[in-house]
Structure 1
Amino acid sequence: MPVRRRTHDPVLVSAHRCGAGQDRELENTRPALDRALALAVDFVEFDVQRCADDTFVLYHDDEVDVGGRRTPLADLTVARVEQLVGPLLRYEEVLAALAGTRRAHIDLKLTSPSTAYTDPAGTHEVRAARRAVEVLGAENIIVTTLEDASVRAVRDWADGEGLDLLVGLSLGRSVKGLPVVRQLRTRWSELRPHLRLSGSRANLVVAKHTLARLGVAAYARRRGLPLLVWTVDTERSLRYWMRPGRAWLVTSNRPEVALRVRERSAARMAP
């Protein structure tokens, strides 16, 4: 695979949520995207949701408040969501902005009806991936998601099309509010990810930095799989993960710091 890198190759950097940094108001917005494009990042990461009118937009949460009730974005038109939360960056706009400039880290927050997964090509996830491939090329995108079925759908579709597309199952999802037994099962499945990764056919290991240190990084190295670590923000953690060989790609809310750490690391290793 083209991402199988030598241990001395620099770790790549991805700007989290379009490069919004610590400003939650800017995440997945055009100003954040413009900020990321001004940096020498390798990837720009962004969250993709689908609205009821079948439009893909950049937004992290899958629900918004409507009259005091949490309502899925998938049940609302783009116009209605924008009435509630303000302007949304369209998926097509960000793909166009990245074309020929940066690679895209597409974090799918959407899912399809359970019956749709019998035909991967008909899922919302594949439709989003297909469009990104059309605009950017498979070599310039990675697709990640928390859902095993979504990973498998995109992988099966990509294989059917003969595409060398990296698709990752994200490990480290929030378990807040879940019953204790389910919390424990979820974390165990992430610390021992073989069954989930093989079942979903993920060819990219994606892990929260804490889980990565607890064995997921070692798992990826043993299997010869590229490792994406998220979200690494402190300079101390960046010094650890930006060391060549520790990861393939690091996602950060402080990409400018990650780039500076990478530059220093390269300088130290120079003959």
Structure 2
Amino acid sequence: MTRHPYLSPDAPRVLAHRGLVTPDAAALGIAENSFAAVAEAHAAGAVYVESDCHLTADGVVVLFHDDDLQRVAGDPRAIADVRVHELEELMADRGGLITLAQALEAFPDVRFNLDVKAAAAAEGVGRLVAPHAERVLVTSFSDERRLEALRAAATAGAARRPATSPGSATVARLVAARALHQTRRVRALLADVDALQIPEKQGPLRLVTPGLLRDAHAAGVEVHVWTVNDESDMAQLLDAGVDGLVTDRADAALALVNERGTATV
């Protein structure tokens, strides 16, 4: 399988989870997934920013994790019921709203890992990322939403499909196929993805195992683990051979990766 340009150069990769909000920035009221959070991640040296996509009432794709404003702004309204100018006002003193179009334009050297959170956003995500497919990975817990976004990118004229990571149903099938030693099934499930983005554990079940890493790497698929904030956990996962860390502490993870890289020269 040919490596997608999103995954070049070689790993390990640090994916700034919803941008970067340092303790100092949080004390000032800066929110995750804001323009300031993406800018802070970029300033810290993050090449990859993980974010989430919702659609506003007036059809604008915005970077926002929750489907409502309660946690971030104390407002119970759903993102789908709010117009973009209202979101801009609400986010003005929280780091600033950032739309997907703005993110792609304002940060041309950032590679975005986009989780399609709302079904209504899938088509818009695909259309917007089509000219930037070489630096975008599209994912979702829902394979249906993920595939709809990829189809929309193709329809919008993407020169190649964006990179992609499977949804939770596909991951569950992969884990089951590995447990049953269904080698062909495992290969088939990994055939059309570029990265496997998973938590280290799901309840009592450990997902990141030496066997899974071997199978993924044999298929040319990277393994990115979320959400890893403890530095000792970061080091252990890198030692185990994972290819990427999705973290709220991108600054600490980048320092660790750079230190380890220097140490191995």
- Normalised by the length of structure 1, the TM-score is 0.72
Matched, 1:148 2:143: yes
Equivalent of 1:32 in 30, 37, 41: 37
Letter in 2 for 1:92: A
Q: CA distance change for structure 1 residues 125 and 187 in 2, over 3 Å: closer, same or farther? A: closer
Q: CA distance change for structure 1 residues 201 and 186 in 2, over 3 Å: closer, same or farther? A: closer
**Distance apart, 1:30 and its partner CA:** 1.8
**Distance apart, 1:97 and its partner CA:** 1.7
Matched, 1:92 2:101: yes
In 2, Cα distance between the equivalents of 1:31 and 1:141? 20
In 2, Cα distance between the equivalents of 1:129 and 1:200? 21
In 2, Cα distance between the equivalents of 1:199 and 1:153? 19
In 2, Cα distance between the equivalents of 1:103 and 1:186? 24
**Distance apart, 1:75 and its partner CA:** 3.0
**Distance apart, 1:247 and its partner CA:** 2.5
CA deviation profile, 1:199-246 (whole Å, cap 9, x unmatched): 995442110132542565444234331222211111111112334x82
Which residue is equivalent to 1:231?
227
Which residue is equivalent to 1:132?
129
Match of 1:105, SS? strand
In 1, Cα distance between the equivalents of 2:19 and 2:260? 25
Which residue is equivalent to 1:248?
243
In 1, Cα distance between the equivalents of 2:246 and 2:41? 12
Percent identity over the alignment?
A: 22
Q: Which runs of 5 or more structure 2 residues have no equivalent in the other structure?
A: 178-184
Between the two proteins, the alignment pairs up a number of residues equal to 238
Which residue is equivalent to 1:192?
176
Alignment of 1:1-271 (within 5 A): 1-3=2-4, 9-21=10-22, 23=26, 25-65=30-70, 71-81=77-87, 88-99=97-108, 101-112=109-120, 124-134=121-131, 137-157=132-152, 163-171=160-168, 189=173, 191-192=175-176, 198=189, 201-211=192-202, 212-214=207-209, 216-243=212-239, 246-270=241-265
Q: Is the 8 A contact 2:21 2:31 kept in 1?
A: yes
Letter in 2 for 1:38: A
**Distance apart, 1:82 and its partner CA:** 5.3
**Distance apart, 1:269 and its partner CA:** 2.3
Q: CA distance change for structure 1 residues 90 and 198 in 2, over 3 Å: closer, same or farther? A: same
CA deviation profile, 1:134-161 (whole Å, cap 9, x unmatched): 2xx2211111111010222234455675
Which residue is equivalent to 1:179?
none
In 2, Cα distance between the equivalents of 1:70 and 1:168? 31
In 2, Cα distance between the equivalents of 1:142 and 1:188? 20
Q: Is the 8 A contact 2:116 2:139 kept in 1?
A: yes
CA deviation profile, 1:5-58 (whole Å, cap 9, x unmatched): xxx944011111011256485201122122111122221112111011101112
Q: Which runs of 5 or more structure 1 residues have no equivalent in the other structure?
A: 113-123, 172-184
In 1, Cα distance between the equivalents of 2:10 and 2:103? 28
Which residue is equivalent to 1:115?
none
Match of 2:208, SS? helix
In 2, Cα distance between the equivalents of 1:218 and 1:127? 35
**Distance apart, 1:129 and its partner CA:** 2.6
